Amino acid sequence: MSDSVRTKYIFVTGGVVSALGKGIAASSMAFLMQRRGLRVQCIKLDPYLNVDPGTMNPFQHGEVFVLDDGSETDLDLGHYERFLDQSLTAGNNVTTGQIYHTIISRERKGDYLGATVQVIPHVTEEIKNRIKALTRLDGTTDLIVAEIGGTVGDIESLPFLEAIRQIGLEEGPANVVFVHVTLVPYIPTAGEFKTKPTQHSVKALREIGIQPNVLLCRCSTAISESLRQKIGLFCSVPTRSVVAAPDVTTIYEVPLNFHNQHLDDIIANQFGWDIPSPELSDWEGMVDKIKNPRKRLKIGICGKYVNLKDAYKSIIEAFVHGGVHSHAEVALVWVSSEDIKKGGAERFIHDLDGLLIPGGFGERGVEGKIEAIRYVRENNIPFLGICLGMQCAVIEYARNVCGLKDAHSFEFYRDMKHAVIHLMADQEGVSDLGGTMRLGAYPAVLKEGTKSLEAYGEDEITERHRHRYEVNNAYREMLEEHGLVFSGVSPDDRLVEMVEVPGHPWFVAVQFHPELKSRPTRPHPLFREFVRAAVDYSDRKKNPASSNVGEEEDMTTSA
């Protein structure tokens, strides 16, 4: 579109219950419009008072998604980045905490001298400014898709709803589409879908002054035309704009479903846009591979939050992306590190095709993780360690290969003799816990002849970080002498970013979070190669004669 095009807005609200997949709905619409040639920005407006989710427990909030610029954001930004194949910045996630922080600092400086500072107009103006700031982010933005967190009816989200109502009024219907994501539950005892929750939710929205233009009806299976008609009639929405959003096998199917129901045309028509149809064949091919895998792998994830899948959202997605590349489905097996500590690693890991230890904080479960790592290292099972996962791998190596029996991390035991993982120098004296870790994108250089370099295919990379502790350089020489390879280090060689164990089919561990940069059409190299190694491992298990683990094993087999 030309630079003179005025920025338009899609506002996405949710009704009835949370967890309907507003983020995926917003990403899917943004994706379809991007594929129709538009420059699109997504923004998530979170009504909580935290400045960012960085200090929240994953049990409360799910994963913290870290951006290149170091901002700690809502996990929906992960969906936006993955669907749009775009790297976002701090301005793409706004919280009530940030809004009030700005307004109260301004008030203290005297910027509002004489005025009573109020939710309307001061808070709503600040919200509107934050949304509109995105129009200037990368030159011109044709479309902003703004998702309001929470559910209509929440006290916290009222200022956001008021702000988008005002934008709707100021910009007019040719420039603003209101999309409401709602639930149409199926009641098995009645054998019927029920529309009443949607009617109530739309009523609540209209009381605030917002008439939705599109309803996305979350339902277990597709709903009939007559039901859509009925919903439309009660909610004053044309039937064709009542779009069914049934449960799907993979989230990447959602935009295809929307497109089949002409949702992108409905949006384009309201905006008066005459734009080409989207090219979706690559996306359809990807969805087809996800739905029809040729192989099935079992990869274990050994972490603390095994009962909360949202805590590992990006890892789960990165495995989907890696799986597409090998045309394999990765079934994730959640292994509790505490169970391993009690019952031993063999019992939980022996039949897996690979093991991943994700990032984490706190000592609980660490000994189980270390035991799990020993098992996969000694039994040639593919392994990927991320952040705390790498730190545990180094501790394991120091203990069981270098013989430092009490090796540990300074994070957990301050008086350990061998703190092979210690506090980073620039973290000393840091007392505030919000936003003070080593956060965001940092470069690393990779070593010749390593699996890491082979995976990336380039010797300079940047990856996203979120940690306070690092490999203690005082132990590097010893670890290296015992065979551990530091396959990636910071350009000044002060920080270890990647380690690997040579001779093992795939034992790579990294201080950063590769999962945050994996995209469906561009799987992250480490996930791609880890899954490939797991496929090889699984094939070898089934057909041991085809073994080609490495030179040593080749020699044994041929001898």
Contact residues for ligand GLN (CB under 6 A)?
359-361, 387-388, 411, 466-469
Q: How far is the CB of 356 from ligand GLN (least distance, A)?
A: 12
> Closest separation between CB of residue 77 and ligand GLN, Å?
17
- The values of phi and psi at residue 306, to 5°, are -65, -20
Task: Name the β-bridge partners of 333.
Answer: 300
Contact 341, 368 (CB under 8 A): yes
Q: Which is nearer to ligand GLN, 45 or 384 (CB)?
A: 384
**CB 366 to ligand GLN: min, Å:** 10
| 14 strand-pairing partners | 181
| Nearest-CB residue for ligand GLN | 359
534: left (phi over 0), alpha (psi -120 to 50) or beta: alpha
**Beta carbon of residue 513, minimum distance to ligand GLN (angstroms, whole number):** 7
Q: HSE on the CB side for 217, CA within 13 Å? A: 33
- 276 DSSP 8-state letter: P
Say whether 156 is catalytic: no
Burial (Cβ within 10 Å: 0-12, 13-18, ≥19) of residue 513: buried
Question: Residue 375 CB, nearest distance to ligand GLN (Å)?
Answer: 21
Sign of the alpha-carbon dihedral angle for 183, 187, 193, 199: negative
Q: How far is the CB of 361 from ligand GLN (least distance, A)?
A: 4
Catalytic residue among 217, 235, 387, 402: 387
Question: Min. distance of Cβ 107 from ligand GLN in angstroms?
Answer: 35
Choose among 249, 324, 290: nearest CA to 535: 324
| Closer residue to ligand GLN, CB minimum distance, 286 or 370 | 370
Comparing CA positions, the residue from 411, 409, 390 lying closest to residue 485 is 390
Residue with tokens 């427990």, as numbered in its chain = 57
Could you tell me which residues come within 8 angstroms of residue 157 by beta carbon, excluding any fewer than 6 positions away?
47, 148, 149, 150, 151
Residue 377 vs 464, nearer CB to ligand GLN: 464
CA-based end-to-end distance of the chain: 66
- Whichever of 271 and 469 has its CB closer to ligand GLN, that residue is 469
In 10 A of CB 208, how many CB atoms? 15
Residue type, 188: P
Q: Which two tokens stand for residue 547?
A: 């073994």
Catalytic residue among 122, 513, 524, 529: 513
CB closer to ligand GLN, 96 vs 511: 511
Catalytic residue among 317, 411, 515, 529: 515
Q: Are 13 and 152 in contact (CB under 8 A)?
A: yes
Note if 42 is an active site residue.
Answer: no
Q: Whole-number minimum distance, CB 72 to ligand GLN, in Å?
A: 11
- Choice between 469 and 506, CB closer to ligand GLN: 469
> Toward ligand GLN, which CB reaches closer, 16 or 388?
388
* CB-CB neighbours of 337 under 10 Å: 24
Residue 515 bears catalytic tag: yes
Nearest to 504 by CA among 391, 355, 399, 360: 355
Nearer Cβ to ligand GLN, position 466 or 528? 466
Distance in angstroms (rounded) separating the CA atoms of residues 545 and 524: 31
The set of catalytic residues is: 387, 513, 515
